[in-house]
Structure 1
Amino acid sequence: MLRFFKINDPFRLLGILVLLLVYSGIYFFVLAAPVTQPELIWMLVGERLADGYHMYTDVIDDTGPLSVGIYWMLHEIFGRSFLVYKILAFLIAIFQIVYINSLFIKYKSFDENTYIPAAVMLVLFHLSFDMLVLSPALMGGTFLVLALGQLFAQTVLQKEGSDSVLLAGVFGGIAACFHFPLVIFLPFMVVSGIAISGFTFRQFLLSLVGYFLPITLCALYYFWIDALPEFIFEYIFASRVVDVYPHVGFYSLLGIFALPILLAVLGYFVGIWFKVITVNQQKQRQLIFIYVIFAILSIFITNRRTPYQFVILIPGLTYLITQIFVFLTQRKALLIFTVILFLGVPLSGYLWLGFSKMSGVLNQYELKVEKQHAISKGKRVLVLGKDVAYYWEAKLATPYLNYKLSDRILRDFDDLADMAEVYQQFLSERPELVIDQEGTFPELLVRIPQLAEMYLAKGNGVYVLKK
């Protein structure tokens, strides 16, 4: 298999596509990978915006402004369609694979023009079933890959490359508008630009202007619709100061990523010990090394602890692991590493999914639609808690989608302005069903007696709108 991808022939991409279909097919058709809670939340955001509401004021959530724009357009065109989300995520993954491979060929990252990086990257996309969901991390990571390509251009240019510097900043800023943890690209760009690419002061300023341009445009839009404070709080600050959603435990994440990280470390030392590289290749290696460090740091400011947050690590791991297969010459060692990569890495993801489904590890991540959720079918619903499966066949009523962010308003009983806002939201949208899993609603009924006249308790945290 390794020989197949070593040949510099664009038709090898057909092999990449076949393997991508095989690996993904095992996840979705054999192991029946579940729909996740975040996926439904992204759809609800798109649906709410399609109904004419505004993000951060009429939808309380911390999904990035450009991500919600994509979800909005998808809902306008296709409605609720998980298949469309999967297909688009699949196409984005293919684009990233092709782009990274062409990047390494264009800038001579390795002595051979090979499609091994594409093969490595497609395997890494199957570390977990949720790497191929249409997440903000995947969409924003695409622009991070484009920004990385512009920084690669700076490693070979011997003259001032203002266009690539500006584009690197613009792509990095766009990435941050898709997924806030990708804001980590700013210090990465500064460090790598000055230490490796040799930015002049003019280039440094140009890159900063490019970076803040998309963010400023987003801020101007929300200022225009009188939602700038909500944008700043909910998107930039709130999800960093409240507790994250611990969908997947640390040990599970360690089990998934232990093998590829080990291969990346081995690849790094193989590149140092077994190959004398050019100055440009050395700069690219340093660039990737710093990229991996900052990509890991971005995980600490994520709002949901899930494997898909690590998707931005894939380009860096791809480069490091590829060095094993490009620089090693011992056949037996290459055979062992090939088996580990093409069988061991995806198998670790398959085993984790199978074990997690049997042991209930995914209970806080998987969207489990059960009998009790049937009561919300076809209704306007508000869920005060983590079980968003009640929205499966229902519509969100009122802005309070992200409960942890909404809690600051719903439990602020002493603030008359917040209580008045909550009452107005209930009065205008009149949720037919309120599912209270956190004990918030009874206190709200005491504080706002008018709501107590509107709703009838049915037990187990279920409240029905009186007719």
Structure 2
Amino acid sequence: MLRFFKINDPFRLLGILVLLLIYSGFYYLVLGAPITQPELIWMLVGERLADGFHMYTDVIDDTGPLSVGVYWILHEIFGRSFFVYKMLAFLIAIFQITYINTLFIQYKSFDENTYIPAAVMLVLFHLSFDMLVLSPALMGGTFLVLALGQLFAQTVLQKEGSDSVLLAGVFGGIAACFHFPLIIFLPFLVVSGIAISGFTFRQFLLSLVGYFLPLSLCALYYFWIDALPEFVFEYIFASRVVDVYPHVTILALIGIFALPLLLAVIGYFVGVWFKVITVNQQKQRQLLFVYVIFAVLSILITNRRTPYQFVIIIPSLTYFITQIFVYVTQRKALLVFTFLLFVGVPLSGYLWLGLTKQSGLLDQYQLKVEQKHQISKGKKVLVLGKDTAYYWESQPATPYLNYKLSDRILKDFDDLSDMAGVYQQFLLEKPELVIDQEGTFPALLERIPQLGDMYHVQGVGIYVLK
């Protein structure tokens, strides 16, 4: 297999597509990879915007403004179609794989021009079944990859022009508008630009202008629709303060990423000890080493503990792991590393999915539709809790989609303005069913007696519109 990808032939990308179908097919056809709760939330956000509502005022959630724009367009065209979401995620992954491999060839990152980086990156995308979902991290990470390409151009060619510097900043700012934790690219841009790329003061300022341009345009839009405070609070601050959604345990994340991280460390030392590289290649190595450090730091400010958050570290892991297959010449060692990569890495993801599905540990992450959820079918629903499966065949009502962020409003009983806003939202949208898993609604009915006249109790935590 390794020989096939060593040849510098663009048709090797057909082999990448075949491997993509094989690895992904095992996840979905054999193991039955589930739809996750965040995926449904993203789809519901797009649905709310397609119905004419505004993000952060009429939809309380912390999804990035450009991400919700994508979900909105997809819902307008395709409606609720998880197949379309998966296909678009696959296309984005293929673009990233092709772009990174082309980048390494164009700027002579290795002595040989091969498609081994593409094969390595494809395998890394199958570390977990949710790496290939249309997440804000995947979409934002695409622009980080584009920014990385501009930094490669600046570093390798030592350009005095301003185009690559400006574009690196713009792409980094766009990435932050898709997924806020990617704002960590700003200090990365500063460190790498000054210490590695040798930015002049003028280039440094230009990169900062480019970086803040997309963020400023987003802020300007929400200022225009009188939603700037909500944008700042819900997107920038609240989601970093509110408790993390522990969808996946830390131990599980360690188990999934232990092998690829080990291979990357080995690849790093192989490149340092066994290969004399050019000055440009040394700068590229430094750039990607600093990149992976900041990428890991960005994960620390995410509010959903999931494997897909790690998708942004894949380009750096690809570079370091590729060094093993380019610089190691011993046949037996190459066979061992090839087996570890092409079999061991995806196998760790397969085992994690299979074991967690059987043990029930995935219940906090997957969308598990059961008989009890049929009560909401075809109705306008408000769910106050973690079980979003009630939205599966229903329509979300009122802005309170993210229950953790909504708590600051729904439980702020002493704020008459918030209580008046809640009552107006209920009058406007009149959810036919309220599923209260957190015990919030009884206190709300007591604080707003008019709501008590609108709803009656049908069961434990179930309130129906009269």
What band does the TM-score fall into relative to the shorter chain? Answer: over 0.9
The equivalent residue for 1:391 is 391
How is 1:57-206 mapped onto 2 (pairs within 5 angstroms)? 57-206=57-206
The equivalent residue for 2:24 is 24
Distance 2:332 2:311 in 1: 31
Note the alpha carbon deviations across 1:160-217, whole angstroms, 9 max, x for none.
Answer: 1310000000000000000000001000000000000000000000000000000000
Distance 1:11 1:384 in 2: 51
Say which SS state the counterpart of residue 352 (structure 1) adopts. helix
Structure 2 contact 153–159 (Cα < 8 Å) conserved: no
The equivalent residue for 1:314 is 314
Say which SS state the counterpart of residue 265 (structure 2) adopts. helix
Aligned CA RMSD, in angstroms, stands at 0.4
Note the alpha carbon deviations across 1:134-176, whole angstroms, 9 max, x for none.
Answer: 0000000000000000000111223313100000000000000
Distance 1:174 1:326 in 2: 34
Distance 1:259 1:408 in 2: 41
Structure 2 contact 247–305 (Cα < 8 Å) conserved: yes
Note the alpha carbon deviations across 1:243-271, whole angstroms, 9 max, x for none.
Answer: 01110000000000000000000000000
The change in CA–CA distance for 1:159 and 1:88 in structure 2 (over 3 A counts) is closer
Distance 2:330 2:45 in 1: 53
The equivalent residue for 1:253 is 253
Q: Post-superposition shift, 1:354?
A: 0.2
Q: TM-score, normalised by structure 1?
A: 0.99
Distance 2:90 2:156 in 1: 32
Q: Post-superposition shift, 1:361?
A: 1.0
How is 1:451-466 mapped onto 2 (pairs within 5 angstroms)? 451-466=451-466
Distance 2:296 2:269 in 1: 19
Question: Structure 1 runs of 4+ off > 2 angstroms?
Answer: none
The equivalent residue for 1:352 is 352
The equivalent residue for 1:215 is 215
The equivalent residue for 1:417 is 417
Say which SS state the counterpart of residue 10 (structure 1) adopts. coil
The equivalent residue for 1:42 is 42
Q: Post-superposition shift, 1:350?
A: 0.3
Structure 2 contact 383–390 (Cα < 8 Å) conserved: yes
Structure 2 contact 2–116 (Cα < 8 Å) conserved: yes
Note the alpha carbon deviations across 1:94-125, whole angstroms, 9 max, x for none.
Answer: 00000000000000000000000000000000
The equivalent residue for 1:429 is 429
Distance 2:208 2:40 in 1: 35
Distance 1:159 1:313 in 2: 27
Distance 2:95 2:320 in 1: 20
Distance 2:132 2:156 in 1: 33
Q: TM-score, normalised by structure 2?
A: 1.00
**Identity level (%):** 85
Give the counterpart letter for 1:363 in structure 2: D
Note the alpha carbon deviations across 1:4-52, whole angstroms, 9 max, x for none.
Answer: 0000000100001100110000001110000000000000000000000
Q: What is the total number of aligned residue pairs between the two structures? A: 466
Distance 2:83 2:311 in 1: 20
Structure 2 contact 104–110 (Cα < 8 Å) conserved: yes
